Amino acid sequence: MKILKFGGKSLQSGLDLVIDIITNRAKESAVAVVVSAVGETTDILERLLELAKKQEYRAEFQKFTELDFHRGHDLSTEFDQLRKLLEGVSLLGEYNRKIKDRVLAFGELIAARILAEQLSDRGLGAVSIDSREFFVAGLHHGNALIKDKLSREKTKLYFARLDKAAIPVVTGFIAATADGDTVTLGRNGSNYSAALLADFLDAEELQNFTHVDGIYTANPDWVKEARKIEDLHFDDAAELATFGASILHSKTIVPLLRNNIPLRILNTLNPENSGTVVSANPTRSGIKSISAKTGVSLVQLEGRGLLGKVGVDGRVFKAMAAEGISVGLISQGSSERGLGFVVTATDGPSAAEALKREFAVDIEQGDVSAVGVQEGLSVISIVGIELKNFDGAFSALVKNKIVPTLFSNSLTGRNVSVLVKDSEAKKAVNVIHGRIFGMSKKVNLAIFGHGTVGGTLIKQIQESAEAIERRKNIRLNIFAIGNSQKLLRDANGIGEDWQERLNGEGQPYSINDVIAYTERHHLENLIAVDNTACALFIENYITLVRGGFDLVSSNKVANTLSYDSYVQLRESLKIHRKEYLYETNVGAGLPLIDTIKLLHLSGENITRIRGVFSGSLSFIFNKFSGENVRFSEVLKEAAQNGYTEPDPREDLSGNDVARKLLILARELDLRNEFSEIEIENLIPDSLTSLPITEFLQNLDALDARFDKRKENLAADKVLRYVGDLSGDLSGEKGTLRAYLDEVPAASPLGQLTESDSLFQIYTESYGSNPIIIRGAGAGAAVTARGVFGDILRLAAKTGAE
């Protein structure tokens, strides 16, 4: 015989599917069926009890009787009995656990009767069986344990008298005491019922039909990358069941172990799939799965007076045993000044009251200072991992702003559990799963600014995403694209139609809205990318860091504010263990900032940095000095090529070069302020305050000044706009200058072409021969590629510390 167990979701999916499965399995061997209540029936019955306490249940009860599943069946007897119980609760204004168990039992009783009738209507002999006829349990309402010997005898006797041609449809979840009182076996207790029946009837196999294809490395409803496990040993299954695997009951495994009866987890919607087989057969060692048990509470007992006292633990657990409360994870300091343990959320208040009673004298004497309950927690358990291999996953949790309240390692040394907030559970499971199973690490990007650079970056990411995931095991997911006015959000990823969607679906937003969205959708490994040139947007940086984001920016403003603001941002990054990369702030995509950081960190004394910092000014003066063209014509060409800012005066003012100088100075721990930089402004006073349109219409007003400068050049000299950082660079401040210089045409600066930038880094070790870094210093594609590089560097490091 095989035992077929169908859960509430399976029955809700459609009785036709369930009946087809039973019909096909019955052709192969004898079967007995165990059922749960349909869908949300148990929750509805609990809600009716609460409404009955307030005399408000009648309308909801009527809706319950009219549910689609109930139609076509005469359930008047069940409904009458249920109505009387609710009426009694309504009159008393309260109910106890005994009444609650009697009410909840109707979910399984109704399900078994309807399925048996449906099977009979299809020509299959079937009989509805109330498991209270043979499952005898102790008097512990809500989570009863079956009395094995007596129940086994009664079950064998009961089934021996059944018509062998009829298919038994047995209620799960419920049993009766020796005195006939109804008790329930705990949530998901129908799995326990099915395992007991399989054991008592010496079944060949227990087949548990659910809404998934088997047991996965994590809940597939939470983790899209979860993999199905083909085979699982009883020991590992028991651990998963204990720590919250939703398709296993913590008491399910023990009955099956007695006769080594295999448990096969199958999908009602895909019954031909082989599922997962749980058995006594050896399986490959290693990490098996991650489970999450939500809705638990941490009960804490604290007091300095407990130090050195013997027997505190015994008193705690004795108090819990007296209340029938099962204790999960336990945490205790070696000094015995405090003890914490995990219980179900419903048991939390009772556990705290039990401790207060047990330690009443200690509390009065001041030896116990606090008895508290922390609610809204989840236990995340990793079955099959050794503690020495959990460091990476733990660091990844902290990196994602998830700091476990409690940490536990099993006695076997092969299972690790952490306690986190319920609101963090889904995110925590995804972070741990990606880390320990070597899945593609999902990195969620919010991109702010989608102009020339931002739009190019989005295109580069989307074109390269598949190759990056294949080569680097990193999955880049753009979940938000925004500008100064509105934001497009999609946790599943934004595609190539982002511009159309942003225009049509974009909504006004604040940065706190973005952070709330990531929390609501449990998004991990967050990176915010600032491609704006906006001074206002940088005010969001610290908020983003606090919200769990690393930062990547092509916006130079944040690094050129006051030194106090500069330090404040770095302190926030340090506190929240976040990073801020901005390689494109100086030199577009050139590896300049990284090189300077490495030299400085290694102790190399940098004595001077000089070069052409601006790709746009490089293009302008390379062309102007080398060809017979007017300055205004070159400036127009640079703007048309996208080399300059939308307002070219930002480049001509020298402010852009000055900001880049200041950024490099601060990489050397110098405390210079922007106001201290000597800047040569190339814009005449007459053009400084004009609206941009008028300025662009009067560019020829620049020609006379620059023609004269060009005429006065020596034959072997060319014009270059230079940034120069010099002075005592090992001190507190350096000398920063941005100016138009005449340099030898044969020098490295003089030989620049197009929009190339060039940086000369002088150090004590290299003496008069500087390190030279040269390359494209302007252009959307180059800058976007540099930002992309920073994203990939962060993505590779995120959660890996």
Burial class (CB in 10 A: 0-12, 13-18, 19+), 58: middle
At position 30, the amino acid (one-letter code) is A
The closest alpha carbon to 608, from 479, 449, 771, 434, belongs to 771
Inter-residue contact 658 to 674 (CB < 8 Å): yes
Number of H helices, E strands in the chain: 29, 28
Residues across the chain: 801
Q: CA 83 to CA 734: how far, in whole Å?
A: 86
Give just the sign of the alpha carbon dihedral 101, 102, 107, 112: positive
DSSP state of 440: P
3-state SS class at 678? strand
At position 654, the amino acid (one-letter code) is G
The closest alpha carbon to 448, from 502, 497, 518, 495, belongs to 502
What strand order describes the sheet that includes 549-553? Answer: 487-489, 474-482, 441-448, 526-530, 549-553, 580-581
Q: Which of 2, 401, 427, 660 is catalytic?
A: 660
- The distance between the two most distant Cα atoms of the chain, rounded to a whole number of Å, is 117
Inter-residue contact 90 to 53 (CB < 8 Å): yes
Alpha helices in 400-497 (DSSP H): 425-436, 452-472
CA 314 → CA 263, 317, 318, 319, 601, distances in Å? Answer: 37, 5, 6, 9, 55
| CA 64 to chain centroid | 37
Inter-residue contact 514 to 507 (CB < 8 Å): no
Could you confirm whether 660 is annotated as catalytic? yes
Which residues face 36 on adjacent strands? none
3-state SS class at 332? strand
Q: Which is it for strands 2-6 and 205-210: parallel, antiparallel or unpaired?
A: parallel
- Pair of tokens at residue 322: 């007296």
- Pair of tokens at residue 29: 């061997």
Inter-residue contact 562 to 673 (CB < 8 Å): yes
Inter-residue contact 253 to 237 (CB < 8 Å): yes
Buried b (16+ CB within 10 A) or exposed e, 68-80: eebeeeebeebbe
Give the Cβ contact number of residue 177 at 10 Å.
Answer: 18
Inter-residue contact 93 to 53 (CB < 8 Å): yes
Q: CA 72 to CA 107: how far, in whole Å?
A: 17
For residue 301, the number of C-alpha atoms closer than 13 Å in the C-beta half-sphere is: 33
Distance between terminal CA atoms of the chain? 53
CA 723 → CA 595, 617, 620, 621, 750, distances in Å? Answer: 18, 11, 16, 14, 14
Query: Which residues carry out catalysis?
Result: 660
